Copies of this chain bind each other. A is one copy, B any other.
Amino acid sequence: MNQRYNSNLLDTAVSELSKLPGIGRKTALRLALHLLRKEKEESVALGESIIRMREQIRYCERCHNISEEEECELCSDPSRDPTVVCVVENVKDVMAVEATHEFNGLYHVLGGLIAPLDGIGPSDLEIDSLVERVGKEGVKEVILALSPTVEGDTTNFYIFRKLEGTGVEVTVLARGISIGNELEYTDELTLGRSLLNRIPFN
């Protein structure tokens, strides 16, 4: 339904808004009319912030996280430990790990996971640059912090094999029952794994 409103400008804005994920034409029209009703400054500020963000944000040359400079804030922070590198799938995962305040090393953003069914192979991801970094930057530990899915496991295994023999320690996030979860509702795979990988109580 490519309804024409009685303004080409409105039409264009609705079309552009409806390209956003999860936003259909009806919602796009609602948003557009909302932007028309609001103060001109506010609506223009939204448009400008999108343009500025898209034009000025680039990717860190070292860890491939989003950045405003050649090297991102995290990589150029001297208080962080460059010998520990946490490998994540995407930018959102960097934010998720940062939000824990439990990590003080650097990151390496792969930009995806190996998924042959979707046509994503190792060469589409930042894996070679990770191996190179490990060799060049004196990294002592690589923490694999990928999703516990088939794709995540495949990628973990591929990276592990690539780093074999470099002397770097490769670790993976602990898997087990989530904190606050009831034991009886934990799926059997997770429960079984957390039994096998039980740790000393202290």
Residues of A at the B interface (CB closer than 8 Å) are 3, 5-10, 12-13, 15-17, 19-22, 27, 29-36, 40, 42-57, 65-68, 72-74, 90-92, 94-95, 98-99
- Please state the number of chain copies in the assembly: 2
Cβ–Cβ < 8 Å partners of A7 in chain B: 53, 57, 66-68, 73
Cβ–Cβ < 8 Å partners of A31 in chain B: 20-21
27 A-B residue pairings within 8 Å (CB atoms)? A3-B99, A5-B95, A6-B65, A6-B67, A6-B72, A6-B74, A7-B53, A7-B57, A7-B67, A9-B68, A10-B53, A10-B57, A12-B53, A13-B49, A13-B52, A19-B46, A21-B30, A29-B92, A32-B53, A33-B90, A35-B54, A36-B91, A40-B54, A44-B54, A46-B47, A47-B47, A47-B48
